[in-house]
Amino acid sequence: MSFPLNFNFFLVCTVLLAAPGLAAAQTAASAQDLTRATEMNLDVKLMFPSPVPDRIILNLTAEPENSVAVNWRTDTTVQQGIVEVALATDGTQFIQQLRKITATTEYLRTRHEQEPAVSAHYHSAVIDGLTPGNVYVYRVGFGNGWSEWFQYRMPESTRGRPLSFLYFGDAQNDVKSHWSRVIREAYKKMPEVDFMLHAGDLINRHDHDIEWGEWFQAGSFIHATVPSVMTPGNHEYRNVKLSPHWRPQYNLPLNGPKGLEETCYQVNYHDLKVVSLDAEQIDETPYYAQKQAQWLDSILTHDARRWTVLTIHYPFYSTKPNRDNLELRNRFKPILDKHKVDIVLQGHDHAYGRGMVSNSPSGQNRRAQLSGTMYVVSVSGPKMYNLSEDPWMFRKAGNSQMFQIITIQDNQLLYNAYTAKGELYDSFILRKQKGEANTLVNKTPNTPEKR
């Protein structure tokens, strides 16, 4: 999308007026970048920040029942970031009880191929000391530039209370035009979820600022009101280097192996442990593959929860013909089997498939319909691959954008998979039995498989 020259002139004037102390060279460079972006018919509104916060997002912390993390972006004229937070009230009385939290501010300059450079300040903070079950309001900004007020309900910490989340496979391509309806349909279907989980390949080119802007625009206010966790995919990497945007724009736990901060980590609810493994570093780096395996075994041994959800971009079992991640299974499946991990949420293969595979230490390819770990591959964006006939899949779909709603309560996990139109396509229940593998109850709708 291109904008008329007077729009870009307005943006340049905004930068000049808002930042009289900026060096002349930096201001001139900003004007040149804006002009070049217009000449290249790039989406200026998505690329370039302003003094008003954008790309606002909540992330889960390691202890999500008493804190939440928040990130946002501004232009470089804004040297500091503040979070204002208060217990929500029925009216605007909350503004009399504001708590202010100073953010950490980080400078980032990126340039994708021959496109103009984008310079920004990314601000991050943790809102801690929150009470489970309470509703809070917050806004972010500094000086004269502030966001709107957002509202967020903290999860209950009571044992046995229901906990729900949305799961998305790869968004990746045409995110603004085609993925936006999926995340919005998911939110409309279940707005009271506790978090969203993204299984990698959020965008297509790791350093392309416009694509990251499209991802944030597609989710809009949802990102700022429903916390997210995300595991990186291969498209968040290039030459084994993580996207320069990843750590500045997200605020994920730092409790994984050293060197894999915010890509390999754990989140702990009272009844649920969510684990992210960095698939690309497993695939490309034997050192980090071994480190992640040791770490995973340790946390599941010493800090177990009733339910364990693991997310990783590369699938243990593929939906794509002639693709098989044998080395991944050989290294990690014995750990999943040992600890009876409940469900593995994956992406990468751009089709939908799910099946329960037995927790047998000797039979890595044995299929069991009634007990074991559930493996799921899904895709939420428009890019599709051919669908295999591999017998590990109990239910599968090709050429279908999907999203999933998962609810855990007591000894039961309810899983529902929906198409982009919001139609139920797949459903099952996992029932936990002490000391034994989970029991599967299929509730699949009586509709033909999509091919």
pLDDT of residue 29: 54
pLDDT at 9 over 60: no
Question: How much is the average pLDDT of 106-111?
Answer: 97
pLDDT of residue 109: 96
Residues 47 and 428: their CA atoms lie apart, in Å, by: 42
Question: How much is the average pLDDT of 176-187?
Answer: 98
39 or 404, which is more confident: 404
Of 177-191, 196-210, 360-374, least confident by mean pLDDT is 360-374
Three-state SS for 376? strand
* Those residues with Cβ within 8 angstroms of residue 17's Cβ, 6 or more apart along the chain or in another chain: none
Instruction: Name which of 164, 239, 175, 166 is nearest 201 in CA terms.
Output: 175
pLDDT of residue 359: 67
pLDDT of residue 2: 37
pLDDT at 32 over 90: no
pLDDT at 13 over 80: no
Mean pLDDT of all residues belonging to the chain = 91
Of 116-120, 153-157, 291-295, 323-327, least confident by mean pLDDT is 153-157
pLDDT at 6 over 50: no
Answer whether 248's CB lies under 8 Å from 74's CB: no
Of 5-9, 197-201, 403-407, 429-433, least confident by mean pLDDT is 5-9
Instruction: Name which of 413, 235, 162, 210 is nearest 308 in CA terms.
Output: 413
333 or 450, which is more confident: 333
Q: Name the band, by pLDDT with cuts 50, 70 and 90, for residue 43.
A: confident
pLDDT of residue 360: 61
Q: Domains in the chain, ordered, with CATH?
A: 1-48 (no CATH), 51-157 (2.60.40.380), 163-442 (3.60.21.10)
pLDDT at 130 over 50: yes
pLDDT of residue 25: 44
Of 30-44, 63-77, 304-318, least confident by mean pLDDT is 30-44
pLDDT of residue 365: 46
pLDDT of residue 366: 45
At 286, give phi and psi (nearest 5°): -55, -35
* Those residues with Cβ within 8 angstroms of residue 345's Cβ, 6 or more apart along the chain or in another chain: 167, 197, 199, 309, 310, 311, 376, 378, 404
- In the chain the first and final C-alpha atoms are separated, in Å, by 34
pLDDT of residue 290: 98
Answer whether 260's CB lies under 8 Å from 397's CB: no
Query: What are the tens digits of pLDDT across the range 270-328?
Result: 999 999 999 999 999 999 999 999 999 999 999 999 999 999 999 999 999 999 999 99
% of the chain surpassing 90 pLDDT: 82
pLDDT of residue 246: 98
% of the chain surpassing 70 pLDDT: 90
pLDDT at 367 over 70: no
Residues for the chain: how many in total?
451
Query: What are the tens digits of pLDDT across the range 384-395?
Result: 999 999 999 999
Query: What are the tens digits of pLDDT across the range 189-244?
Result: 999 999 999 999 999 999 999 999 999 999 999 999 999 999 999 999 999 999 99
pLDDT of residue 38: 79
Question: How much is the average pLDDT of 63-81?
Answer: 97
Answer whether 304's CB lies under 8 Å from 293's CB: no
pLDDT at 52 over 80: yes
Axis crossing angle, helix 180-189 with helix 209-219, rounded to the nearest 10: 30
